[in-house]
Amino acid sequence: MATSDPSVKTTPAVDETGADSSRILQTRGLRKEFGGLTATDAVDFTLEEGELRCLIGPNGAGKSTFLNLLTGQLAPTAGEIYYDGADITGLPSHERVGRGISMKFQVPSVYEGLTVAQNLRIPLQQVVEPDAFDARTREILERFDLLEQWGTVAGELSHGQQQRLEIGMAMAMEPKLMLLDEPVAGLSIEETADIAELLREIADDDGVALIVIEHDIDFVETIADRVTVLDGGSIFREGPIEEIKADPEVKRIYLGEDH
Amino acid sequence: MAGAGLLNFGFEFVEIFAFIVLATVGLAVIFGMMGIINLAHGEFILVGAYATTFAFAAGAPLPLAMLTGVVLTAVYGLVLERLIIRHLYGRLLDSMVVTWGISLVMIQLTRIVFGNTAPGIGIPFGQLPIVDGPVYYLVLAVVAVGVLGGLYALFMWTDFGIRARATMQDEATARSMGVDTDRMYMSTFAVGSGLAGLAGALYAPVMTITPEYGTGFLIEAFVAVVVGGASVLVGTVLASGLLGTVNAAVTNVAGTFMGQVAMLIAAIVAIRLMPDGITGLLADWRENRGEGQ
Amino acid sequence: MFVTERSLTRRSVLAAGSAGSLAATAGCVGEGAVLGMGDGGTNPTAAVLEDRSGTFALTGTAKYRTTLLAIEEINRDGGFLGEELEVFAPDPQSDNMRYQDLARHAIYQEDADVLWAGYSSATREAIRPLINEHEQLYFYTTQYEGGVCDKTVFPLGATARQQLGAVVPHMIETYGDEIYTVAADYNFGQLSGDWVKIIAEEHGAEVVGEEYIPLEESQFGSTINNIQSAEPDFVMSMLVGQDHSAFYEQRLASGLTDIPVGTSTNMAQEREHLRIDPPALEDVYAGVNYMEELPTDRNEVFVERYYERWDDAEYINQEAQNNYFSVYLYKEAVERAGTFEQSAVIEALESGLEVEAPEGEIRLDPETHHVEHTMRVAHADENHDISFDEPRTIEPVFLQEAGCDLTSEAEQTQYEPEAFYEEA
Amino acid sequence: MSVDSSDGPLAAVRRPFEGPNTMGNSPAFWLGLAVAVAVLAAMPVLFGLYAAEVGAVFLAYALLGMSLAFIWGYCGILSFGQVAFFGVAGYAFGIVAINVATLTGLTVALIASIAVSTVFAAALGYFMFYGGVRDVYVTILTLVVALVLYTFMGQTAGGEWAVGDARLGGFNGMSGVPDLAVGVGSTGVEIGLLGHYYVTLGALVATYLGLRALVNSQFGYAMVATREDEDRTAMFGYDTTFIKLVVFTIGGAIAGLGGVLFTTQNNYVDPSVFGITAAALPVVWASVGGRTSLLGTVGAALAIQFVDYRLALSGSEWALVLIGSLLVIVVLLMPEGVAPRLHEYVLEYREDADPSPVPREPPAATEEVSD
């Protein structure tokens, strides 16, 4: 279990692959095929440090596949992935996570058998010394408004609380890049607003880069610096939210005329 | 290999192939389809063997005695399903431990009630000319293939089969489409038990009947189901073929014992190379070649 | 360092606990015990450990019943030195590990004065460490591979040398000199296979093929194929246990009954000739010291009393008769020694005892602790009727040659034929 | 959640052994444990050498049971083949000890046999886990490995199956295995009947405490996380395959230790140790005792084997029927086993006794809720 030391951070000026150092993530010609179907088609994607990018697109556009390629759950058929100045294409998931990539799954997956504090302990012990566990846990639970649930078994939490706990666990890893797959699916209006505020705060205060897959356009509008529209496995449009909203083509592929 | 040697190997293979298929087919239904790891499978076979033996000793002709064996085991399976197995659906590991308890109880009860031996039945139909092995083994092979064909027809083409498979794959949806899932579980389990009883009945004349009679079938059956993989019937045939070949080849060279050891090692390697079994592998090949989708 | 009252109590308890165990190690512990779980009463006890279930249930049940028959008979007319012999007889279920537990319990808790235990040689070897450690008087009554030279052990069954010595020469004379050996794959089978080779060598015959079959195997397809291709004059079978009786069914089904079979184990032990329909055991010859069908009048009286006592009994096998006469042997020894104390009884046993047995006169050889048996060759015809040839007494000569003399030097070894005969 | 647990002078001693992954954390628990160990230690005093001999066998079985509870209860690996390591270590000790029966020889035999079972577990674990074999297939594969050993060892009765002068012996088993002894050259200690009982008891207690410390350590959390959700845990940077391999190997070592102590107690080992009945015993103990509780499994192992032993003595044929039915009833009614259910009662009892108004606040509270 690689425990990266948060205090020491050296970002190389320009690394040998010529990738601009301020870019936290870059993919080149990333491709994934399942039998006959091309889920991800030669995607060149870049993300700056601390940027909050939303990934939208009709169902089956390859959003989840793209995320799984980044986390290493899926191996690409072709192309490379550069993260934090290094080529991580071949790395298994647990080593990528060790370098600061963390993931919030589409289906909320917390350790339902363990208490909230125990849940947090699993990621925390990767990055922090044991004597700091209690302080760090209190800090995260306060920030994610879960303090009273310290000793409750995660399985008994509400859907919204579980989502917040899972994001909290991802944050406990002190990531530089966080990938979130539909974090507000099935949440109430206030809970969605809380999550939006939280994500914005993580991007701005903690300087963490975020890629968020979400269908709720209003939610995207409130939080996204830029938006990438995926369709048929490739990037269809990319730019600030106002541009994307105004673009008639985007409406067309969403409303399902032939594309 | 000389002509006779080849014939011997062929006969040996037929003998072991029939044994594995018949030992496995009942378990394939119960474990493969219903997700119940039935460690008492050997003792279901035992019920079939004892029922056949005592029916035969009471004067019934052999085929009728075997039929009683099958029917009695199916009824026995039904009773057990309603009493205990019903609570184990979806609890894979618990089903293994509970059926293991049932197996311990059944072996010891058989010993207490029936003592250590049961009257023997001679092997019917004389013997083959060149190979000098009993004709009965060929009969067993034919029955084995017949049973597989019958099961395939039952589960693929009949209305019962489709509803049973639907229940096993997704009980909730099946129930929502009006399938009486409880009855499906009961009847599928009864079919599985009946098949185990059939294996016991068919091998009653060949092997000495003792309370530990069933354990001789257990490992071959489990290994074949696991090596066979997801699709129950095709998997059983392929696994029995693979394991049968290995067993027959080594038995011919180094005796039945090394044949058994070789087969088990082949099974370990097969489970390792094909974690989802042969049929799992076939499904992946089809998928990668783009045919599936 | 200030210690709170609460933690003091907790600490003292912990300390007391560990101290307790140290005291125990310090050794106020001996054979006896403070509470003593044992319920061994004052009167003499015999431990009779015979399998009534599992692989050796067929022979074990009869051994248990004849032992009880003999003890009850003696207890009825005056007992052993005037006392009734108590019996401790749980069922070891043909499981060697369980034999160890029960033997240990018999020695410690029942403080058994005499032990009958075990059918297979494997069982004997499993409990021998315990018997040697406690120098327990032990009667081993199964016919076996021979060679056990042990101060407190009395192997009263016929040895392979005695049984094969009777049947192998007989088969060579009548059928020819090419032999195919099929034997159970454990120490008895292996060593019997060696004896067949030695005796064949002595009579100018030759073993053309050998196969050792594990005890729980009941498929003989490949074995029968090999016999057919070897085409021997006769087969020597030292198969043992219920699973191996399937050999004869498959022998009939594969048309192998034209090749005669000599054996030292079948028929006399697992009564295959009664359990399997004829003619599966046609032309099977067994070298035995006893079978229920023995036509002597003394045997008829014994068989009658046996079925009177056990009405559901099935057959008196060779080992059961050995158990029966060994109880009378023990009675003689106890009366000659005048005590149940084991070393005295062993000395009495080594003073040359003789006893009347259903099979005939039995003389116990002092040096080797073995007995002279009246051996016969039993033959089963196509409807499994048994006929015997004329008896002859064969002495336990192997151990005498090997130099085992327990009267002068107490040993605890087993001699193997390989060491003495280069052809083995 | 006894608030006072953190101030007693013994707390520092207990600190490494406590944590939410194990059930007993209160001083009452430790007191109970100490009393239990004292009672076990007093057995030979009360019942003589006989109890020492029989007891040592049960304690060796308890080690075997604990090895399964550790890998199954805490990491979700249900291995049906723990007896494979148990038996292999036994035979390995026999082979080395019979050939080199000196003091050093016996010490080497002890170390070598545990090393053999550990390496065997590591190899089998690597073969399975890095080959993508998961869940129920691990169970069946480990069972098949045990049965291959049973079948193979069953036919090694011939003279040719001997390593030096240690004959494997096939179904007769290997007899004449010397007693345990530790030392170098001529200085060392022969472990007789009595000593063997205390060595086994000591090994059991030490292994239990060691596992408790391990399970409450960071690695323990990684194990529990792997058990709960392997994919999720991989996404927290844990190499779950490696974790399973390490856990499986430790399980193999503990089962091996049990095997050596069992074999040296009986001075005999035979293939039935690998048989299907033997393979199922640890599963019975862990299921009945509760796989997530090391102590529960040890308790179940001692109790069940004692009942089986007494029933065998009384010649009753009903032993197996009783154990079989016990297994069926317990798993149906209390799937998680006896100890966890007891623990819940204790908690409820303590809850009613002093319902603490303060919700479980960090950091003073050491959480009691186990998984």
Task: Kindly tell me if the per-residue pLDDT of C75 is higher than 70.
Answer: yes
B–C touching, 3+ CB–CB pairs within 8 Å: yes
Question: What string of DSSP letters covers A222-249?
Answer: HH-SEEEEEETTEEEEEE-HHHHHH-HH
The answer to whether B206 and C246 have CB atoms below 8 angstroms apart is yes
| pLDDT at residue D313, as a whole number | 81
Are the beta carbons of D232 and A148 separated by less than 8 Å?
no
**C129 touching B (Cβ < 8 Å):** no
Task: Kindly tell me if the per-residue pLDDT of C3 is higher than 50.
Answer: no
Are the beta carbons of D237 and A94 separated by less than 8 Å?
yes
Q: Which two tokens stand for residue D188?
A: 């060392």
Percent of chain D residues past pLDDT 90, beyond the cut: 36
For C98-118, the pLDDT digits (tens) are 898 899 889 988 889 999 999
**C214 touching B (Cβ < 8 Å):** yes
How many residues does this entry show for chain D? 371
Domain that holds residue B91: 3-218
Set of chain B residues whose Cβ sits within 8 Å of the Cβ of D137: 226, 271, 275
Distance from CA of B279 to the nearest CA of A (A): 18
Percent of chain B residues past pLDDT 90, beyond the cut: 19
Cα–Cα separations (whole angstroms), residue A116 to A164, C123, C264, D293: 11, 58, 73, 22
Report, as an integer, the average pLDDT of D276-286.
88
Cα separation, B67 vs B87, whole angstroms: 30
Distance from CA of B62 to the nearest CA of C (A): 16
CATH architecture of the domain with range C161-288 = 3-Layer(aba) Sandwich (3.40)
Are the beta carbons of D360 and A93 separated by less than 8 Å?
no
Ordered by start, the domain boundaries in chain C are 45-159+295-374+393-412, 161-288
Task: Kindly tell me if the per-residue pLDDT of B110 is higher than 60.
Answer: yes
Distance from CA of C18 to the nearest CA of D (A): 6
| pLDDT at residue A184, as a whole number | 83
Pick B259 or C50 by higher pLDDT.
Answer: C50
Cα separation, C422 vs D371, whole angstroms: 67
| pLDDT at residue C138, as a whole number | 94
Task: Kindly tell me if the per-residue pLDDT of C29 is higher than 50.
Answer: no
Are the beta carbons of C11 and D10 separated by less than 8 Å?
yes
- Of D350, D20, D11, the C-alpha closest to C6 is D11
Token look-up 């029916």 returns B55
Name the band, by pLDDT with cuts 50, 70 and 90, for residue D297.
Answer: very high
Are the beta carbons of B292 and A35 separated by less than 8 Å?
yes
Query: In this complex, which of B8, B111, B123 lies closest to C249 when CB atoms are compared?
Result: B123
What is the overall mean pLDDT for chain D?
A: 84
Averages of pLDDT over each 10 residues, chain A, 259 residues: 38 43 82 80 85 85 86 86 87 83 82 88 87 88 87 87 88 88 84 86 86 84 86 84 81 60
A–C touching, 3+ CB–CB pairs within 8 Å: no
For D144-159, the pLDDT digits (tens) are 899 889 888 887 877 7
- Quick check: is B268 in a domain? no
- Looking at the structure of chain D, the number of domains it has is 1
| pLDDT at residue C38, as a whole number | 44
- Of D270, D263, D262, D219, the C-alpha closest to D242 is D219
By C-alpha distance, the chain B residue nearest A33 is B288
Distance from CA of A242 to the nearest CA of D (A): 34
For C239-251, the pLDDT digits (tens) are 987 778 888 888 8
By C-alpha distance, the chain C residue nearest B260 is C217
The crossing angle, in degrees rounded to 10, of helices C57-76 and C297-309 is 100
Are the beta carbons of C245 and B208 separated by less than 8 Å?
yes
Cα separation, D115 vs D121, whole angstroms: 10
Residue in B9, B113, B116, B206 to test binding to C, most C beta-carbons within 10 Å: B116
Set of chain D residues whose Cβ sits within 8 Å of the Cβ of B226: 137, 140-141
What is the overall mean pLDDT for chain C?
A: 82
For D215-240, the pLDDT digits (tens) are 888 899 899 999 988 888 888 888 99
Are the beta carbons of D154 and C216 separated by less than 8 Å?
yes
- Looking at the structure of chain B, the number of domains it has is 1
Q: Tell me the whole-structure pTM to 2 decimals.
A: 0.84
Set of chain B residues whose Cβ sits within 8 Å of the Cβ of A75: none
Domain that holds residue D145: 3-351
Cα separation, B164 vs B148, whole angstroms: 17
Are the beta carbons of D44 and C24 separated by less than 8 Å?
yes
Distance from CA of D35 to the nearest CA of C (A): 6
Are the beta carbons of C243 and B120 separated by less than 8 Å?
no
Assign a CATH topology to domain C45-159+295-374+393-412: Rossmann fold (3.40.50)
Query: In this complex, which of C255, C256, C276 lies closest to B120 when CB atoms are compared?
Result: C276
Residue in A95, A110, A122, A131 to test binding to D, most D beta-carbons within 10 Å: A122
A230 contacts: CB under 8 Å, gap ≥ 6: A43, A55, A56, A57, A61, A62, A63, A66, A236
- Of A221, A222, A231, A224, the C-alpha closest to A254 is A231
Residue in C220, C222, C251, C266 to test binding to B, most B beta-carbons within 10 Å: C222
CB pairs under 8 A between A and B: 12
Three-state secondary-structure class, residue D17: helix
For B57-68, the pLDDT digits (tens) are 888 888 899 999
User: Would C45-159+295-374+393-412 and C161-288 be classified into the same CATH topology?
Assistant: yes
| pLDDT at residue B193, as a whole number | 94
Distance from CA of A2 to the nearest CA of D (A): 7
Query: In this complex, which of B111, B226, B257 lies closest to D151 when CB atoms are compared?
Result: B257
Are the beta carbons of B287 and A35 separated by less than 8 Å?
yes
**A125 touching D (Cβ < 8 Å):** yes
Cα–Cα separations (whole angstroms), residue C67 to C85, C306, C323: 12, 11, 6
Task: Kindly tell me if the per-residue pLDDT of D17 is higher than 80.
Answer: no
For D107-133, the pLDDT digits (tens) are 999 999 999 999 999 999 999 999 888
Report, as an integer, the average pLDDT of C12-41.
43
Distance from CA of C335 to the nearest CA of B (A): 39
DSSP D71: I
A–B touching, 3+ CB–CB pairs within 8 Å: yes
Subunits with at least 3 CB pairs below 8 A relative to chain B?
A, C, D
By C-alpha distance, the chain B residue nearest A36 is B290
- Quick check: is D361 in a domain? no
Residue in D227, D236, D246, D291 to test binding to A, most A beta-carbons within 10 Å: D236
Are the beta carbons of D360 and A150 separated by less than 8 Å?
yes
Are the beta carbons of C186 and D8 separated by less than 8 Å?
no
Query: In this complex, which of D155, D323, D332 lies closest to B98 when CB atoms are compared?
Result: D332
Token look-up 């317990």 returns D330
Distance from CA of C252 to the nearest CA of B (A): 9
| pLDDT at residue D203, as a whole number | 94
Subunits with at least 3 CB pairs below 8 A relative to chain A?
B, D
Tell me how many helices (H) and strands (E) chain B has. Answer: 11, 0
Between A146-160, C381-395, C398-412, D51-65, the lowest mean confidence (pLDDT) is in C398-412
The answer to whether C134 and C109 have CB atoms below 8 angstroms apart is no
The enclosing H or E element of D356 equals none
Task: Give bridge partners of residue A32 from the DSSP assignment.
Answer: A40
Task: Kindly tell me if the per-residue pLDDT of B102 is higher than 80.
Answer: yes
Ordered by start, the domain boundaries in chain A are 23-255
Set of chain B residues whose Cβ sits within 8 Å of the Cβ of A33: none
Task: Give bridge partners of residue A87 from the DSSP assignment.
Answer: A82
Distance from CA of A33 to the nearest CA of B (A): 10
A–D touching, 3+ CB–CB pairs within 8 Å: yes
Set of chain B residues whose Cβ sits within 8 Å of the Cβ of C256: 132
Give the CA angle between residues D120, D99, C130 to the nearest 5°.
95
Pick D229 or C28 by higher pLDDT.
Answer: D229
Q: ipTM value, please give it.
A: 0.80
| pLDDT at residue D368, as a whole number | 34
| pLDDT at residue B131, as a whole number | 62
For D46-86, the pLDDT digits (tens) are 888 888 888 999 999 999 999 999 999 999 999 999 999 99
φ, ψ for residue C289, nearest 5 deg: -95, -15
The answer to whether B30 and B38 have CB atoms below 8 angstroms apart is yes
Pick B1 or D123 by higher pLDDT.
Answer: D123
DSSP C264: S
Are the beta carbons of D367 and A113 separated by less than 8 Å?
no
Question: What string of DSSP letters covers D171-209?
Answer: GG-EE-PPPPEEEETTEEEE--HHHHHHHHHHHHHHHHH
Percent of chain C residues past pLDDT 90, beyond the cut: 26
Say yes or no: domain A23-255 is CATH 3.40.367.20.
no
Name the band, by pLDDT with cuts 50, 70 and 90, for residue D360.
Answer: very low
By C-alpha distance, the chain D residue nearest C213 is D155
Are the beta carbons of C36 and D48 separated by less than 8 Å?
yes
Are the beta carbons of D37 and C17 separated by less than 8 Å?
yes
Are the beta carbons of D328 and B107 separated by less than 8 Å?
no
DSSP A153: B
- Quick check: is D332 in a domain? yes
Set of chain A residues whose Cβ sits within 8 Å of the Cβ of B289: 35
